[in-house]
Every structure is written in structure tokens, then in C-alpha cells.
Amino acid sequence: MRIAVVALGKIGLPLAVQFADSGHEVVGIDVNERTVQQINAGLEPFPGEQHLQEKLASAVTDGRLRATTDYADGVPGADAVVLVVPLFVDDASWEPDFGWMDAATRSLAEHLTPNTLVSYETTLPVGTTRTRWKPMLEEISGLTEGEDFHLVFSPERVLTGRVFADLRRYPKLIGGLSAAGTERARAFYEAVLQFDERPDLARANGVWDLGTAEAAEMAKLAETTYRDVNIGLANQFAVYADSVGVDVYQVIEACNSQPYSHIHRPGIAVGGHCIPVYPRLYLSTDGDAEIVRTARKFNASMPDRLVQRAASTLGGLEGMNAVVLGAAYRGGVKETAFSGVFATVAALESAGATVRVHDPLYGDDELSSLGFTPFSLGDSVDVAIIQTDHSDYSTLTASDLPGIKLLVDGRNISTADGWRGTPRIVLGKGQSTD
């Protein structure tokens, strides 16, 4: 097959490489000229994705993959077009911002040719494929969905850093607007993906038809919103455990020892491209989902809650030197999308502290470009907040932070031995420890 992949980001590029690795001709389309140049040179533009560099270099060398900024070069004549263009959410209104996706869809529609399968993999509010993309594609292209081309929704379900493994492990969900479109999608994904055996599943791993585009859209939102709500519940438990002197991690371990409890871990922040965003996409079409709204707001409040706790412990933070340990949204991943670092820094500054940021994955110039003042271990500091669960921070001791008066561990990664004699607050541990 000849396949076009629109948007060669941290999901789109591995997808394009996967398709090429399965023996197909792939053209990747991206608006970033530098990204296109790097891909055509066989160089991954964002290191950190397992096996991407070697697979990319092989696909480019063998002529199975190339990149372009021109839709007219990639879309006409394609058997399938897969879109993984980012969808943003307005921070104030929580409404989706379709700007980039609308632009990509218009450009695709201008060059769409008959007999093409169009698959959206970007997570969408329920109903978007049918009510937004179908009319736009038909109006601009002059083609009729279900007759001249087929449109489906098939959500990406992978985690950056392990995309290729996740593509094999998880069923590929599809939802079409017609039976014919669904069958086209099934045949396409069975030709470009390979699946691990999963005896734990109720049915064979592979391509799963959910019946409609709306069901596939909701499945992606539901599985991610579940995680946000679950973390919100864990955070609620942690805050209460702190107030009554209980170790919430022992409680969670005990609860999860039976098969009906799956409580997640609490933490200072929920970051990344997915979990903070998709509940808001769900809420954009289900405004009555108060459980979802409450959990999202509670999780967003955690940085401020821990900063307030630090201020209470020290009698205020005015004039103090503070460091936030970790810019990345999760340990071992060089990515700051919706990272708790931003809210934590803002809360500390609002409390009157002078704030610097440290992260073992980022150089000083990179931290400065993010708007932070870099911090080096060994510099003096009054208060430190662990925001990211980098493995480096598990061995951190008070000697690494001369003059420290308080450590706030928002990830339960520090050990008591390294902080004897220094006040330490661990979220959900029930008390400050010396």
C-alpha cells in the first residue's frame, strides 16, 4: 500500500516507521521543515523512543519512507491517510481548540482522491469524526464519504518511549461511519500492525471493531479519563491520610491485594499530553460529568496544596530560596507537556519564594528556554520540592542541598535514611519526618 501519515511527532513518526517496517510505501507530511529534513536524512528528530532510530534509518535507506511538507506530494493516490495532528484544549474554557486539526483536514481534503481510507488517530470529543471531519472533507474534496472515500476513527493507545511495544500489545480499536469503511480499516490495520498473544483478553488480540466512530472516540476518552479520576481519588485519600496520620501507600497496597481494587498512586501533579487533556475533551460533550470535573480540578490543585503545606511547616516562604526537582512530567522522559513544574513554580513564586529548577535530563540552556532559572545540586537552598520521579532523586540526600530546611516529596521517591535530621514531608505519608 501507499500510505500518508500527517504530523510526524512523537506518535506520528513511529507510526509511519511501523507502517514502512511492515513493507509499505510511506510518505510523512509535517509542517516543520527541519523535522522533514532530519527524517529524510534518517535521523530521529526527538531522541528517546525505543528502536526508532534504527528502524527510521533502515526505512529511509531502503526507500520505504520519506517526508515532505507538501500535502500535494503525499495525499493524492494514497490508499490510506492517517492523521495524528495535535488537538489542544483552552486552559480557561476547557473547550477543544481545533485550529491545527482543521488546517490539516482542509489541506488533506484539497488533495483527497477517490478510494482513499482516512483514519483519524488523534483523540477527539465524541461525535467529531461524523459531525466535523466528514462534512469538511466532503465539502472541500467534492467526494462523498462511504462511496468515494471512507472515514474512520482509530485512537492511538501508546505511550511515548515504548510506542512499538505498545502497538503490539494493545488491541487496535476502530470505528467507522459505514460497514464498508470499517472493513477497509480492518484490512488496513491488519496489514500494518502485528499483535502479541494476549491470553488475558476476552477475545483475540488484534483489530477490534467497536461498531461506530462514536464508540471508538468514547473508548479512548474513557480509558484515559478513568486514570485521571482514579489518580484524583488516590490524591483525595493521600490528603486525608496526611490529616489523620496514616500511610496511604500501605492502605493502597492492602486494598489492591484483592482483585476488585485498582487504586492508582497519588502525586503532586498529573502531566503529559493525555491524562490532563482528555478528561476535558470528554467534558466538552458531557457537561454533566461532575465526577470527571471534580477529579480534574482536584488533581490540578495538588501543586498548590503541597506548596501551602510547605509554607505552613516553615511559617511562610517569603524570601526563601526554593528548588523544584524535576521539569519533566514523569520520570525518565524528557517531556514537559502539562508538567506539574509550571504550577509548582508559580505557586512558590506566589508565596514569595525565589525559585530555581533542576532536572537531570535538561541542560541549563534548555531549562532557561522553558522560562526557568537553572539549579545545580550542591547550591544552597531553603526548601526543595520533588516534582518528578526521576530515579536520580531516589538517592538524593540533604548533603546535595546545603542549608535545606525542608524537603517536600510529591512522588514518594526519597528515603528516610538520606534525610535524617532534616524535616521531610512525603505526600500521603501522614506526617513530617526527621
pLDDT, one tens digit per residue, over 370-383 is 999 999 999 999 99
Residue 372 sits at the vertex; the CA angle it makes with 371 and 373, to the nearest 5 degrees, is 135
Which three-class secondary structure state does DSSP give residue 390?
Answer: coil
Query: Residue 321 is placed in which grid cell?
Result: 530560596
| 68, 36 Cβ separation under 8 angstroms | yes
Catalytic residue among 55, 134, 220, 429: 220
Summarised one tens digit per residue, pLDDT across range 138-179 is 999 999 999 999 999 999 999 888 999 999 999 999 999 999
Mean per-residue pLDDT over the chain, rounded:
96
- Determine the average pLDDT of the residues in 317-339: 96
pLDDT at 250 over 80: yes
| Spans of all domains in the chain | 2-220, 302-433
- Residue 152 has a pLDDT of 98
> 184 — phi, psi (to 5°)?
-65, -45
Residue 98 sits at the vertex; the CA angle it makes with 103 and 160, to the nearest 5 degrees, is 95
- Residue 160 has a pLDDT of 86
- Residue 433 has a pLDDT of 59
Q: Is 274 annotated in the active site? A: yes
- Residue 431 has a pLDDT of 65
Summarised one tens digit per residue, pLDDT across range 41-84 is 999 999 889 999 999 999 999 999 999 999 999 999 999 999 99
Tell me if 2-220 shares its fold with 302-433. Answer: yes
* Residue 112, Ramachandran bin (φ over 0: left; ψ between -120 and 50: alpha; else beta): beta
What CA–CA distance (Å, rounded) separates 175 from 79? 18
What CA–CA distance (Å, rounded) separates 416 from 342? 27
Summarised one tens digit per residue, pLDDT across range 273-313 is 899 999 999 999 999 999 999 999 999 999 999 999 999 99
- Residue 273 has a pLDDT of 87
- Residue 290 has a pLDDT of 98
Q: Is 220 annotated in the active site? A: yes
Q: Which of these, 338, 409, 427, lies nearest to 91 by C-alpha position? A: 338
Catalytic residue among 10, 172, 274, 429: 274
Biggest CA-to-CA distance, the chain: 73
What CA–CA distance (Å, rounded) separates 248 from 121? 37
pLDDT at 432 over 70: no
pLDDT at 434 over 80: no
Dihedral sign, Cα of residue 291, residue 296, residue 300, residue 302: positive
Beta strands in 161-216, from DSSP E residues, in sequence order: 172-176, 207-209
pLDDT at 231 over 70: yes
Looking only at the bridges linking them, the beta strands covering 80-83 and 116-120 are parallel
What is the fold, at CATH topology level, of the domain defined by 302-433? Rossmann fold (3.40.50)
Summarised one tens digit per residue, pLDDT across range 180-200 is 999 999 999 999 999 999 999
What is the fold, at CATH topology level, of the domain defined by 2-220? Rossmann fold (3.40.50)
Q: Count of CB atoms within 10 A of residue 385's CB? A: 28
Helices 302-314, 290-300: crossing angle, 10 deg rounding: 40
What CA–CA distance (Å, rounded) separates 29 from 102? 15
Query: Residue 145 is placed in which grid cell?
Result: 464519504
Looking only at the bridges linking them, the beta strands covering 96-97 and 88-89 are antiparallel
Q: Which of these, 311, 332, 336, 334, lies nearest to 394 by C-alpha position? A: 332
Q: Which of these, 162, 20, 161, 6, lies nearest to 84 by C-alpha position? A: 6
Dihedral sign, Cα of residue 141, residue 142, residue 148, residue 149: positive
Beta strands in 147-224, from DSSP E residues, in sequence order: 149-153, 172-176, 207-209
Which three-class secondary structure state does DSSP give residue 323?
Answer: strand
What CA–CA distance (Å, rounded) separates 128 from 151? 12
Summarised one tens digit per residue, pLDDT across range 22-46 is 999 999 999 999 999 999 999 999 9
Per-residue confidence at 92, pLDDT binned at 50, 70, 90? confident
Global pTM reads: 0.92
